[in-house]
Amino acid sequence: MEQFYTIQGEGYNTGRAAYFLRLGGCDVGCVWCDVKESWDAEAHPRVAIAEMVAAATAHPGRNVVITGGEPLMYDLTQLTTALHEAGCQNWIETSGAYPLSGQWDWICVSPKKFKAPLPEVLRQAHELKIIVFNKSDFQWAEQHAALVGEHTRLYLQPEWSKAPQMMPLIVDYVKENPRWQVSLQTHKYLDIP
């Protein structure tokens, strides 16, 4: 759908330069999704893998974030192999609703109520990033934290439109439950892509 070189705004890798590949197509249907224009894959042009790799490596950074849409609706073996061969680190942003394919250096799973994550994807997550839209999401976060690995980093990120209301609750929750960390969509505050 789009490609851009920016700073990873969220989660464990916040602040690091990364080239974003946003793949069109998602059927998860989050009511608060901040890229609804990504949902219809047919609305976006097809781009060859070689073209994506060339664009990604035309910058000094070698971290590539594959996001969407829901990137795991595609078999990502060929794309991630080509990126690795070009010397890139492959990071994924996924809801975990589809089987994991591809070679990954960092897996961020952000599970959704609208389409449940697969247990085997949760188990492989380096990072669990829960979007907090209302109070019930703290309990929901703990249910998913019970399904990830021992070393998975745990993040609570406010849903953008609810951030003013939810942020104080998130701060209190992290102070009481320090296994969790705060994640903010810092690129939105910085007004960068």
Ligand X SMILES: Nc1nc2[nH]cc(C(=O)O)c2c(=O)[nH]1
Under the rule (CB under 6 A), what is the footprint of ligand SAM? 26, 32-35, 67-68, 70, 93-95, 110, 129, 131, 157, 159-160, 185
The answer to whether 147 touches 120, Cβ cutoff 8 Å, is no
Residue number, 54 or 189, with CB nearest to ligand SAM: 189
Query: Residue 100, interface with ligand SF4 (CB under 6 A)?
Result: no
Site for ligand SF4 in 135-174 (CB under 6 A): none
Q: Least distance (Å) from ligand X to the CB of residue 155?
A: 12
75 is in an annotated binding site: no
Q: Least distance (Å) from ligand SAM to the CB of residue 192?
A: 15
87 is in an annotated binding site: no
Binding-site partner at residue 187 among ligand X, ligand SF4, ligand SAM, none, CB < 5 to 8 Å by type:
ligand X
Cβ neighbour number for residue 96 with a 10 Å cutoff: 30
Q: Which residues bind ligand X (CB under 6 A)?
A: 6-10, 67, 93, 187, 193
In angstroms, the CA 18 to CA 65 distance is 6
Residue 113 has which token pair?
């109520």
| Binding site per annotation, positions for [4Fe-4S] cluster | 26, 30, 33
Binding site for ligand SF4 (CB under 6 A): 26, 28-30, 33, 35, 38, 68-70, 95, 112
